[in-house]
């Protein structure tokens, strides 16, 4: 903690002062650190996780999974399993082949993309360890697990394909007949050759974004049931609405005969933005067996078969003038698709394509991404999805360039970033950043961090050759989120739009129901949407309830991912409220015997301008319900709905600073100080925003220091348990100091920006920059992630990397 400004204290004081939970009388709800409505059931255990559901006659499903990365399936014999007590059915992929269809990919990024068939259960060939080849259905979960042993499967091994570079070589074994190159996607602006020609400085680096396992704490679970005509599927999913459409298309069950429910969902981070094999198969089993069926994955099963994240090789070149001004950037990516293209697999690295320039100005940019098949679990969205990789690349390169030019890394960034007076600014990647103030966020972060003092300490330790060195990492990030303008998604060949839907119902007693198309799983929408509606309609916070996550009650939505819920879904709520008020104004005017033009709404009351004649919105709601005396042609309802399609992405930004102590003798690292100053525009609930930032930073730090999905030379996943895949515990992480600057977005009426992914995007390069900074005296220019003690030690003692 520094003496300059103790922002952590401010945040703590807010958190500790329970009174600040409610806004002062006359103050807005928006901006107050309201404690969450969601918590009551969560802290008392009255939760509705999918695995909690038990229905009469329910059967339990378990999957036989391939122990091999790549093999032909020559025989599956389920007869012995079927003969076991309590086993109702046992089915192979061949048994389901006629009805199981192919799992969807909604984002074929190029015209000529190789998009292989993806049967939910393998029929002839398995292409990653863990792929399902058979399932058993029994009367309880223990019996189902027992019966797995009795299923006999013969495999004829095929060569595993694990290394992306080798996979692209001539003569490499193939994952799919059509070859291992799924697509090549290119993008560029400006004359990049000119930018590099005669450039005084060119920094060339290759970084590896290791494969990660998203690891939401709630394992996936699915329950399916049918009365023979209508189907209901409960799933631990982020995307009940998209899932319904996709499942209807895959299974042929008509969309109007299918209800999808996301009950309480224990985290997602992108991993539950998927249409999974198990969801399809459970529906088919419910149809076949006429009984409710449930499947809950074990953690080991999940590590194998929940889509993974990241896994890219980044070949980068940055050209600059001698004073550090950026000229151009070349990015050549290999992105590991894994064995199949799942819902948005190919699009993930493309989401990063527009972010490699970060917050900086430059003349030219060139981007190529090659999607590569391997015999591993498919990759797909994981918190940040493409943008953490891009931000890591540019922020690491900026530190390398600063080192090359002997400039302070903050100073180099100042020379290149977009000035606050230059907004709106169209970047070299053709995005228009609406607003931002990088100077303000950085100045604040430097002050809170005590930058100069820590630099002095670093110099001192270097001078004295202390075994424990201090490193300071800088990350000045922005990101594009709030997915997304539908026209942009269309231009990128995405299969759907990016709007969001809301409806607002005024009940006769004056209470309000808000139906949202977002699908929260930890983000606190019930609280935040209540705050928004409380202000918009001037009703008490507690008079609002929020309905979500069930396609029968919330029929329309695009769900929750890509930091989109507030900036798209929240705005839809605002617009629906506007329509409610407009309808109410006409009825109020009639009640007050005035012209609607003379009636204004303030403080919950419709008032004839310049008089005392007034009706509260609750009185109007009751009058609309009674409908005894409505103006001619006006329907007996205030209920309204809105579908909002953003015109631009949302561009939060901020400056994260990390101080790391690195023990050069053991390779151990310890984060001593972590300061994050984020600018997410206006804030609806600062407590929730801070929580999102904390969690995001933790996941980004985890990529830098701890996590990696490791496959062995045969393609077996070694990190199947939480003992092998190192999720940080409380003891592994420091206290995060957070603060904010507020530069309102100009692209929406609340002035808000997305926050869900920002921490993750910003923090990974901050940590690695700090470690490399500590080790510069040893000639170290990189430490591959995760920066384990062994890797750090090797970097020090190998004289570089």
Partner 1 sequence: MTRINVTVDGVTYEEDVEPRLLLVHLLRDRLGRTGTPIGCDTSNCGACTVMLEGRSVKSCSVLAVQVDGQDIVTVEGLASGGTDWHPMQRAFHEEHALQCGYCTPGMIMAAIDLLKDDPDPSDEAIRKGLEGNLCRCTGYTNIVRAVRRGAHSMSQDPEAAAAGARSAEEL
The rounded radius of gyration (Å) of the Cα atoms in the chain is 28
The residue assigned the tokens 């999805």 is 385
The minimum distance between CB 695 and ligand FES, in angstroms, equals: 8
Q: For ligand FES, which is the closer residue by CB, 24 or 731?
A: 731
- The pair of structure tokens assigned to 508 is 């006769």
Measured from each CB, the residue nearest to ligand FES is 217
The minimum distance between CB 702 and partner 1, in angstroms, equals: 9
Question: How far is residue 431's CA from residue 686's CA, in Å, rounded to a whole number?
Answer: 28
Q: Is 95 near partner 1 (CB under 8 A)?
A: no
Build a one-symbol-per-residue string for 613-642: x at contacts with partner 1 by CB under 8 A, - elsewhere. Answer: ------------------------------
Site for partner 1 in 492-511 (CB under 8 A): none
Choose the one of partner 1, ligand FES, none that binds residue 628, judging by a C-beta under 5 to 8 angstroms depending on kind.
none
Burial, 633: exposed, middle or buried (Cβ in 10 Å; 0-12, 13-18, 19+)?
A: exposed
Question: How far is residue 236's CA from residue 266's CA, in Å, rounded to a whole number?
Answer: 8
Residues pairing with 232 in the sheet: 225, 259
Closest to 116 in 3D by CA, of 130, 104, 134: 104
Q: Is 140 near partner 1 (CB under 8 A)?
A: yes
Build a one-symbol-per-residue string for 392-431: x at contacts with partner 1 by CB under 8 A, - elsewhere. Answer: ----------------------------------------
CA atoms within 13 A on the CB side of 360: 31
Residues pairing with 547 in the sheet: 515
The minimum distance between CB 226 and partner 1, in angstroms, equals: 23
Choose the one of ligand FES, partner 1, none that binds residue 188, judging by a C-beta under 5 to 8 angstroms depending on kind.
none
Q: Is 215 near partner 1 (CB under 8 A)?
A: yes
Q: For ligand FES, which is the closer residue by CB, 217 or 731?
A: 217
Positions in the binding site for ligand FES (CB under 6 A): 217, 267, 522
Bond before 333 cis per omega within 30 degrees? no
The minimum distance between CB 38 and ligand FES, in angstroms, equals: 11
Q: For partner 1, which is the closer residue by CB, 447 or 727?
A: 727
Q: Are 219 and 297 in contact (CB under 8 A)?
A: yes
Give one DSSP letter per residue of 425-485, joined into a string: EE-TTS-EE----HHHHHHHHHHHHTHHHHHHHHHHHHHHT-SEEEEEEEEEEE--BS---
**CA angle (328 as vertex; 324, 332 as ends), nearest 5:** 125
- The pair of structure tokens assigned to 187 is 């993008």
Q: For partner 1, which is the closer residue by CB, 118 or 656?
A: 656
Phi, psi torsion values for 556, nearest 5 degrees: -140, 130
**CA angle (281 as vertex; 229, 136 as ends), nearest 5:** 110
Q: For ligand FES, which is the closer residue by CB, 450 or 549?
A: 549
Kindly tell me which residue out of 2, 23, 36, 505 binds partner 1, with binding defined by CB under 8 A. Answer: 36
Q: Is 381 near partner 1 (CB under 8 A)?
A: no
Question: How far is residue 400's CA from residue 382's CA, in Å, rounded to a whole number?
Answer: 27
Site for partner 1 in 243-272 (CB under 8 A): 264-267, 269
Question: How far is residue 334's CA from residue 322's CA, in Å, rounded to a whole number?
Answer: 30
To which H or E segment does residue 462 belong? helix 451-464
Residues pairing with 777 in the sheet: none
Q: For ligand FES, which is the closer residue by CB, 39 or 323?
A: 39
Q: For partner 1, which is the closer residue by CB, 73 or 687?
A: 687
The minimum distance between CB 724 and partner 1, in angstroms, equals: 9
The minimum distance between CB 267 and ligand FES, in angstroms, equals: 5
Q: For ligand FES, which is the closer residue by CB, 691 or 715?
A: 691
Contacts with partner 1: how many residues (CB under 8 A)? 62
Question: How far is residue 686's CA from residue 209's CA, in Å, rounded to a whole number?
Answer: 32
DSSP structure class, residue 308: B
Q: For partner 1, which is the closer residue by CB, 221 or 488?
A: 221
Q: Is 594 near partner 1 (CB under 8 A)?
A: no
Choose the one of ligand FES, partner 1, none that binds residue 49, judging by a C-beta under 5 to 8 angstroms depending on kind.
partner 1
Q: Is 56 near partner 1 (CB under 8 A)?
A: no
At 109 the three-state DSSP class reads coil
- The pair of structure tokens assigned to 224 is 């399916």
Give one DSSP letter per residue of 686-734, joined into a string: HHHHHHHHHHHHHHHHHHHHT----B-TTS-BS--STTTS----GGGS-
Choose the one of ligand FES, partner 1, none that binds residue 557, judging by a C-beta under 5 to 8 angstroms depending on kind.
none
At 595 the three-state DSSP class reads coil
Q: For partner 1, which is the closer residue by CB, 266 or 324?
A: 266
The minimum distance between CB 514 and ligand FES, in angstroms, equals: 24
Bond before 424 cis per omega within 30 degrees? yes
Residue 296 CB contacts under 8 Å (≥ 6 apart), including other chains: 50, 51, 141, 219, 220, 221, 222
Site for partner 1 in 704-723 (CB under 8 A): 721-723
Q: Is 688 near partner 1 (CB under 8 A)?
A: yes
At 661 the three-state DSSP class reads strand
Build a one-symbol-per-residue string for 526-545: x at contacts with partner 1 by CB under 8 A, - elsewhere. Answer: --------------------
Kindly tell me which residue out of 690, 739, 757, 773 binds partner 1, with binding defined by CB under 8 A. Answer: 690
Q: For ligand FES, which is the closer residue by CB, 217 or 322?
A: 217
Q: For ligand FES, which is the closer residue by CB, 309 or 371?
A: 309
Question: How far is residue 463's CA from residue 206's CA, in Å, rounded to a whole number?
Answer: 31
Q: For ligand FES, which is the closer residue by CB, 215 or 764?
A: 215
Q: For ligand FES, which is the closer residue by CB, 214 or 522?
A: 522
Closest to 205 in 3D by CA, of 786, 769, 794: 769
The minimum distance between CB 144 and ligand FES, in angstroms, equals: 19
Build a one-symbol-per-residue string for 749-778: x at contacts with partner 1 by CB under 8 A, - elsewhere. Answer: ----------x-------------------
- The pair of structure tokens assigned to 601 is 């709404």
Footprint of partner 1 (CB under 8 A): 12, 15-16, 18, 21, 35-36, 38-47, 49, 51-52, 54, 140-142, 215-219, 264-267, 269, 298-300, 521-524, 687-688, 690-691, 694-699, 721-723, 727, 729-731, 733, 735-736, 759
């Amino acid at each position: 903690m520094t003496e300059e400004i103790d922002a952590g204290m401010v945040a703590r004081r807010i958190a500790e002062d329970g009174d600040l939970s409610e806004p002062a009388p006359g103050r807005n709800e928006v901006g107050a650190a309201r404690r969450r409505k969601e918590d009551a059931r969560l802290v008392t255990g009255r939760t509705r996780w999918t695995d909690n559901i038990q229905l009469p006659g329910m059967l339990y499903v378990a999957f036989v999974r391939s122990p091999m990365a790549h093999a032909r399936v020559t025989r599956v014999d389920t007869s012995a399993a079927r003969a076991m007590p309590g086993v109702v059915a046992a089915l192979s992929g061949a048994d389901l082949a006629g009805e199981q269809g192919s799992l969807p990919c909604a984002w074929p990024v190029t015209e000529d993309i190789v998009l292989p068939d993806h049967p939910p259960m393998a029929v002839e060939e398995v292409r990653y360890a863990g792929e399902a080849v058979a399932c058993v259905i029994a009367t309880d979960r223990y019996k189902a697990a027992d019966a797995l042993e009795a299923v006999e499967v013969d495999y004829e091994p095929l060569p595993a394909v694990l290394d992306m570079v080798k996979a692209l070589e001539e003569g490499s074994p193939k994952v799919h007949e059509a070859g291992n190159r799924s697509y090549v996607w290119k993008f560029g602006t400006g004359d990049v050759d000119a930018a590099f020609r005669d450039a005084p400085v060119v920094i060339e680096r290759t970084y590896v974004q290791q494969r990660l396992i998203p690891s939401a704490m709630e394992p996936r679970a699915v329950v399916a049931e049918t009365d023979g005509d209508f189907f209901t599927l409960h799933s631990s999913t982020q995307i009940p609405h998209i899932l319904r459409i996709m499942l209807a298309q895959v299974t042929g069950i008509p969309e109007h005969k299918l209800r999808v429910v996301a009950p309480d969902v224990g985290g997602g981070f992108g991993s539950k933005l998927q249409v999974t094999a198990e969801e399809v198969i459970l529906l088919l089993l419910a149809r076949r067996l006429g009984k409710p069926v449930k499947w809950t994955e074990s953690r080991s099963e999940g590590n194998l078969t929940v889509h993974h994240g990241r896994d890219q090789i980044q070949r980068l070149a940055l050209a600059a003038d001698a004073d550090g001004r950026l000229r151009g950037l070349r990015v050549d990516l290999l992105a590991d698709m894994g064995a199949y293209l799942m819902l948005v697999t190919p699009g993930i690295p493309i989401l990063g394509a527009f972010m490699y320039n970060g917050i900086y100005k430059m003349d030219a940019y060139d981007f190529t991404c090659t999607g590569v098949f391997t015999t591993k679990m498919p990759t797909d969205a994981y918190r940040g999805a493409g943008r953490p990789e891009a931000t890591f690349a540019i922020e690491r390169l900026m530190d390398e360039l600063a080192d090359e030019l002997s400039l302070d890394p903050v100073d180099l960034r100042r020379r290149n970033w977009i000035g606050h007076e230059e907004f709106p600014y169209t970047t070299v990647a053709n995005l228009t950043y609406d607003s931002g103030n990088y100077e303000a966020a950085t100045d604040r972060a430097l002050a809170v961090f005590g930058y100069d003092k820590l630099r002095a300490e670093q110099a001192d330790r270097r001078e004295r050759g202390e075994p424990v060195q201090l490193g300071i990492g800088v990350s000045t990030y922005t990101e594009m989120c709030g997915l997304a303008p539908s026209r942009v998604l269309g231009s990128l060949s995405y299969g759907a739009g990016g709007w969001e839907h809301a409806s607002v119902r005024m009940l006769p007693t004056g209470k309000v129901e808000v139906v949202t198309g977002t699908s929260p799983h930890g983000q606190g929408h019930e609280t935040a949407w209540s705050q928004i509606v409380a202000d918009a309609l001037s009703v008490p916070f507690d008079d609002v309830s929020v309905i979500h996550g069930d396609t029968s009650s919330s029929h329309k939505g695009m769900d929750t991912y890509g930091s989109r819920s507030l900036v798209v879904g929240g705005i839809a709520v605002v617009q629906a409220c506007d329509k409610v008020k407009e309808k109410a104004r006409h009825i109020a005017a009639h009640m007050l015997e005035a012209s609607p033009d003379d009636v204004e709404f303030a403080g919950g009351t419709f008032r004839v301008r310049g008089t005392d004649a007034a009706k509260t919105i609750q009185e109007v709601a009751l009058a609309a319900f009674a409908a005894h005396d409505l103006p001619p042609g006006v329907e007996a309802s205030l209920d309204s709905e809105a579908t909002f399609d953003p015109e631009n992405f949302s561009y939060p930004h901020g400056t994260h600073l990390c101080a790391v102590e690195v023990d050069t003798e053991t390779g151990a690292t310890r984060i001593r100080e972590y300061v994050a100053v984020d600018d997410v525009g206006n804030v609806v609930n600062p407590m929730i925003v801070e929580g999102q930032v904390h969690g995001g930073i933790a996941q980004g730090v985890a990529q830098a220091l701890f996590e990696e999905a490791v496959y062995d030379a045969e393609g077996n996943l070694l990190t199947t348990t939480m003992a092998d895949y190192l999720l940080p515990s409380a003891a592994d992480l420091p206290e995060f100091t957070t603060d904010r600057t507020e530069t309102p977005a100009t692209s929406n009426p609340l002035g808000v920006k997305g926050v869900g992914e920002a921490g993750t995007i910003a923090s990974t390069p901050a940590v690695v920059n700090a470690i490399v900074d500590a080790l510069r005296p040893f000639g170290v220019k990189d430490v591959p992630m995760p920066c384990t003690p062994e890797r750090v030690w090797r970097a020090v003692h190998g004289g570089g990397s």
